[in-house]
Amino acid sequence: MFSFSLLIFLVVVVVVLNKLRSSSTPSSKSDITGSAVLPPGPKPVPILGNILDLTPRELWLRATSWAKVYGDITYLHVFGQPLVFLNTPRIVFELLDRRGSLYSDKPHLTMVNDLCGCNDMVAFTGSGAQSKRQRRLMNMALAGTRIPTYFPLITRETHCFIRRLLAPKPPTSSQVESQKYYIPLLRRYAGQLTLNVVYGYKVQSDDDPFLNLAEECVDILSNEIASGGGIWPVDLIPQLQYMPEWMPGSGFLQKARKWKAKMEEMVDKPYHWVKQHVNLNAHTPSFCSTLLEDSDFNPNNTSASSEKTFLSNQFEHDLKWTANSMYSASLDTTITTLQYFFLMMAKYPSAHAKARTEIDSIIPHGTRLPTFADRSKLPYCEALFSEVLRHNAGVPMSLPHRLMEDDVFINPTTGKETFLKKGSLIFANIYNITRDPQLWPAPDFMPHITPEDFYPERHLLTPAEQTLLSNPSSDPEAYQALKVRRRERDPRTYIFGFGRRQCPGQNLVSSSAWLVMVTLLATVDWSFADDGRGEAGRKEEESKVAFENPIFRQPTSFRLDIRPRSEAVMRLIGQEENDDQD
């Protein structure tokens, strides 16, 4: 994305100089900051700052290399715009959680907000009244206490996914297509579940128009608009949006125009569909239908007033953009998590076997499928789920927050006063947190284990920890330290965002992904495709896996040999199909 930035710079050098005059790099000390200093970081070059240090692909790996040199916080600037990378859970929780009132804003990015028309998506909405209204709507549907109401739907969709996965493949499919068929099935599962929850829309086929439109828009958002941390040259130099489209380096303008039209189509079409069905009283209960019918939310359901038209338009605008945001936020996260689970179980069959043994100890094989009621009885499966989230780090670099005013704080690790300037863009380096050897040390009895290893046991409580949690008064100080440590080591506390910007849909995503995982473990065998060459073929297929998505750490497609665990499983799946249809 920055490959043409130097060309643009040469064309608009006057604009850059004006930008620098109006937004100079903050000095390390000032009257406001006293003895506080800026965090360390790579040395900038004149005028450009650190633009040459950035990369549009796998920025989290570059930021992780900086963390090894500069510690908890890394500071850069580009054309005078401060960029700050937070690299440890302590500094992330200190700033984005405890001081969240200063750090909950989102930057107004010219490319995303203006040119691509995403200004009203929850992830990009600035701190203020609209953001509060949208989060109120989302919390209405996705608060933790509401998630059990979705369990029957999640269960039905999980069973449908397993049936499709084990069904004979289309006769026109090649062997390679059949071995990758689980990927479109994952996309259908995630899309079908979310469209149902948000709009009450039931997908009818793999080629469903709403499903195709939604997948196209999510792909545009995650692989194009928000790639490279969501920062484009036009965000650093807003005057670039006025470039003539014939000028070299202006290709982003044509792209933005096409992307904006497609995003607005996805916002409007499903919303108008559910609104029409609500008006006809022919709808399925959903996030949108519930709020459209709720007089506490929808001004159309209250008595007339002078503000009714304005409030009604505002409500509908908030609702349709919030609904779209819910879909966009959950789809790729769910797919990425489950695809990584397939990968890890093919790569680490011993973990697969251990989780299956635990499931069989609770649910005798072939008697029934797992349910949410089994979750508390499956500690190793829970640890396995946590390790998938940690090891994957599905969103390895958060989208930027914006610091709303100058801030001076004590670095909780170094104890030094640190200064950050108002307007700084703040990135949480989630990938580095998941690979921090201090946070994820090797167990005493397995000193060779590193954070790069897939090791579910790291999330299991020791007997001493279990005793302490059951009796906190026995050692209150140790109990508080254990609570802090468990929070820092729980991937859910950073995979889904921070503070006031934490993803409201995390409970739905976690619940649905967990049930798919344990149901797969109980019913399905899979391994890397070997092309008849045994272990050598499987190793070759494993070696082809790469990570190329610019915002999600999603593996490239890999081939699997997938088969039912037993005939008993096939009979059980058929029985569940009849039960689901009743």
Q: How does DSSP assign 163-229, residue by residue? A: HHHHSPPPTT--HHHHHTTHHHHHHHHHHHHHHHHHH-PPP-STT-HHHHHHHHHHHHIIIIITGGG
What's the pLDDT score for residue 203? 92
What's the pLDDT score for residue 311? 65
Query: 93: which DSSP letter?
Result: I
- In one letter, which amino acid is 359? I
Mean pLDDT of 155-171: 90
- Spatial neighbors of 245 by CB under 8 A, at least 6 apart, are 253, 254
Distance in angstroms (rounded) separating the CA atoms of residues 34 and 27: 11
Residues in the annotated binding site = 503
Mean pLDDT of 372-389: 97
What's the pLDDT score for residue 378? 98
Query: Which pLDDT band, with edges at 50, 70 and 90, does 298 fall under?
Result: low
Q: Which residue has the tokens 């710079």?
A: 9
User: In terms of Cα–Cα distance, which of 56, 75, 74, 50 is closest to 64?
Assistant: 74
What's the pLDDT score for residue 308? 54
Question: Structure tokens of 66?
Answer: 């900086």
Q: Give the model confidence (pLDDT) of 57-103 as tens digits.
A: 788 999 999 999 999 999 999 888 899 999 998 899 999 999 988 99
The answer to whether 401 and 501 are in contact (CB under 8 A) is yes
Which of 397-401, 561-565, 575-579 is modeled with the greatest confidence? 561-565
What's the pLDDT score for residue 7? 34
- With pLDDT > 70 as the criterion, what percentage of the chain qualifies? 88
Domain span including residue 44: 5-440+489-581
Distance in angstroms (rounded) separating the CA atoms of residues 358 and 369: 14
Strand partners, 401: 426
Helix H or strand E segment including 11? helix 5-11
Query: Which pLDDT band, with edges at 50, 70 and 90, does 29 fall under?
Result: very low
Q: At what angle do helices 182-199 and 251-279 cross, to 10 degrees?
A: 60
Mean pLDDT of 17-23: 45
Within a domain: 472: no
| Angle in degrees, CA 446, 451, 457, rounded to 5 | 55
Higher pLDDT, 345 or 175: 345
Asked if the model's pLDDT at residue 529 lies above 90, the reply is yes
Residues in the annotated binding site for heme = 503
Which of 5-9, 57-61, 151-155, 167-171 is modeled with the greatest confidence? 151-155
The answer to whether 182 and 555 are in contact (CB under 8 A) is no
User: In terms of Cα–Cα distance, which of 465, 482, 475, 479 is closest to 379?
Assistant: 465
Q: Is 85 helix (H, G, I), strand (E, B) or coil?
A: strand
Half-sphere exposure at residue 218, Cβ-oriented, CA atoms within 13 angstroms: 24
Higher pLDDT, 527 or 495: 527
Residues across the chain: 582
What's the pLDDT score for residue 65? 95
Within a domain: 298: yes
Mean pLDDT of 461-480: 92
What's the pLDDT score for residue 3? 36
Asked if the model's pLDDT at residue 15 lies above 50, the reply is no
Which of 21-30, 137-146, 321-330 is modeled with the greatest confidence? 321-330
The answer to whether 127 and 106 are in contact (CB under 8 A) is yes
- With pLDDT > 90 as the criterion, what percentage of the chain qualifies? 56
The answer to whether 103 and 401 are in contact (CB under 8 A) is yes
Q: At what angle do helices 349-362 and 308-347 cross, to 10 degrees?
A: 110
Q: Which backbone phi and psi does 473 adopt, to 5 degrees?
A: -70, -15
Query: Which pLDDT band, with edges at 50, 70 and 90, does 195 fall under?
Result: very high
First to last CA, the chain: 52
User: In terms of Cα–Cα distance, which of 484, 483, 569, 567 is closest to 521?
Assistant: 569
C-alpha torsion 479→485→489→490, nearest 10: 40
Q: Is 389 helix (H, G, I), strand (E, B) or coil?
A: helix
Asked if the model's pLDDT at residue 137 lies above 80, the reply is yes
Within a domain: 474: no
- Spatial neighbors of 259 by CB under 8 A, at least 6 apart, are 116, 117, 220, 224, 225
Give how many domains the chain has, as a whole number.
1
* Integer CA distances (angstroms), 1 to 112, 229, 230, 252, 284, in order: 14, 10, 10, 9, 42
Lowest mean pLDDT among 1-5, 455-459, 460-464, 531-535: 1-5
Concatenated DSSP letters of 303-319: ---TTHHHHHHHHHHHH
* Integer CA distances (angstroms), 432 to 343, 390, 397, in order: 21, 11, 9
Query: Which pLDDT band, with edges at 50, 70 and 90, does 24 fall under?
Result: very low
Within a domain: 213: yes
Within a domain: 454: no
SS3 helix, strand, coil % of the chain, rounded to 5?
60, 10, 35
pLDDT, averaged across the chain: 86
Asked if the model's pLDDT at residue 243 lies above 80, the reply is yes
pTM: 0.88
Question: How many CB atoms are closer than 10 A to CB 62?
Answer: 17
What's the pLDDT score for residue 297? 63
The answer to whether 82 and 485 are in contact (CB under 8 A) is no
Mean pLDDT of 224-245: 80
Q: Any idea what the CATH number is for the domain that residue 280 is in?
A: 1.10.630.10
Query: Which pLDDT band, with edges at 50, 70 and 90, does 230 fall under?
Result: low
